[in-house]
Structure 1
Amino acid sequence: MPTIEQRFKRVRSQISHAEIAANRPRGSVALLAVSKTKSAQVVADAYRLGQRHFGESYLQEALTKQQALAGYDITWHFIGPIQSNKTRAIAAHFDWVHSVDRLKIAKRLSEQRPEGRPPLNICLQVNISGESSKSGIMLAELPRLVDEVKALPNLCLRGVMAIPEPESEYQRQRQPYRQLYQAVSALGLDELDTFSFGMSGDLKAAIAEGSTLVRIGSALFGERTTAARH
């Protein structure tokens, strides 16, 4: 069984090799460690290896970890579906939200961001494969939601997030990311600098098509365990 240190070294090496293969600068792709269902101790172990960005999907579990790790300089990302009754806590306790897919949620996050905190970094989730089982806006809706979210005072719109339909073939993995990257580039907005693309199974394809942040969980921490999901 590999150690957490060995897992992190392996994933960082994979990212580096994918950057080279895509003729991209070394260090142009950040690693978001998806720590949902993992304990605060596991997060602390990853922190000691130099990891600073962690992604969570289950609010109550995340808040418990944040409290336990209050002395750590962690950047917390919320990456799960957002219910209206959870926006206040998300706005108060996270630095990034990757899963905004409607104006109502964006407005609540802006209104509920505590005074004195910097604007909340936002990615819009796009349902790039058009799957009925997944959250996210359709690609055609993106320009309008971009304009609407940009106008909200306590948010900083940074880019987009996508979870395409799983594909095993490399060129098919690349296609939806290419489509979304080109759509965002066509908007001509330099401030949209974040492409939250790629997970363990399609990391290389995502980086080839412009990912700036890959969301990796099981390859770093092992298989998920049961946790409180509130």
Structure 2
Amino acid sequence: MSEITHNLQTIKAQIEQFNAQTPQQTQLLAVSKTKPLSAVIEAYAAGQRLFGENYVQEAVEKIQQLNNQSQYDTRYDEIEWHFIGPIQSNKTKLIAEHFDWVQSVDRLKVAQRLNDQRPDASAKLNVCLQINISEEDNKSGANKTQMFELAKLVSQLPNLTLRGIMCIPQKTADQTLQKRQLQQMQQLFLSLKAQYPNVDTLSMGMTNDMQLAIENGSTMVRIGTAIFGERATKRATR
């Protein structure tokens, strides 16, 4: 058994264990940013279907290579690609053309461009709003007040489907503070869900805070290091 396969089995078993104590079911998003295509293929062979990428150019290269391979070998069209990184306006066309989900929409300009650039032949693009729940100045995301206005506008765009919210809690050893932020996200999610029938996704929790996130309502955890190992230090081109 390969290391990636073993890691996936371990993480999924942990998620099942945590889910047994909560009312929701939590999905695993494998964050494959900076990892080679071979790692994605290995995870796919082990049954993983949801993959998250932060860097547009790197991700598009992987997606296109797998699409080409699908013509001759294993079919990779079961993969659900999630863009989870900061969105630059000049990259929205590539994101709209190649991804199934975008979890990091934090302003109307980006949402409008994704809507306008989504190909007619593609299904609606699933969208999560990124919330800056810790209110850090150097972090992307809408604030709690902006969220409802942005949700209203996104819900009216014909090529997008509002699916939920995402956050990256403050990096801290203070679990009380971290838990408070996760609980605030859960309340925002429940408020949004009460208004919009398609809302079903609360994306929060990574390798270091997965259990705490699931205990506080996360329906999707974004795990990279615990599956693929430490990431390369050199950032890929967005």
Residue 153 of structure 1 is aligned with which of 145, 152, 158? 158
Aligned length: 226
Q: How does 1:176-215 map to 2 (within 5 A)?
A: 176-187=181-192, 188-189=194-195, 190-215=197-222
Contact 1:150/1:157 (8 A) holds in 2: yes
Which position in structure 2 is the counterpart of 1:221?
Answer: 228
How much is the aligned-residue C-alpha RMSD, in angstroms? 1.4
Deviation at 1:174, TM superposition (A): 2.0
Deviation at 1:37, TM superposition (A): 0.3
CA distance in 1: counterparts of 2:98 and 2:116, whole angstroms: 14
Which position in structure 2 is the counterpart of 1:106?
Answer: 111
Is 1:52 paired with 2:49? yes
Deviation at 1:94, TM superposition (A): 0.2
TM (norm. structure 1) is 0.94
Deviations 1:106-165 (A, max 9, x none): 000000000111110000000000011110011111111110110111000000000010
**Letter paired with 2:86:** P
Deviation at 1:186, TM superposition (A): 2.3
Runs of 4+ more than 4 Å apart: none
Is 1:3 paired with 2:8? no
Q: How does 1:57-96 map to 2 (within 5 A)?
A: 57-70=54-67, 71=70, 72=76, 73-96=78-101
Gaps of 5+ in 2: 71-75
**Letter paired with 2:23:** R
Deviation at 1:167, TM superposition (A): 3.0
Which position in structure 2 is the counterpart of 1:43?
Answer: 40
- Identity over aligned pairs, percent: 48
CA distance in 1: counterparts of 2:41 and 2:198, whole angstroms: 32
Which position in structure 2 is the counterpart of 1:20?
Answer: 20
Deviations 1:43-62 (A, max 9, x none): 00000000001000111111
Gaps of 5+ in 1: none
TM (norm. structure 2) is 0.91
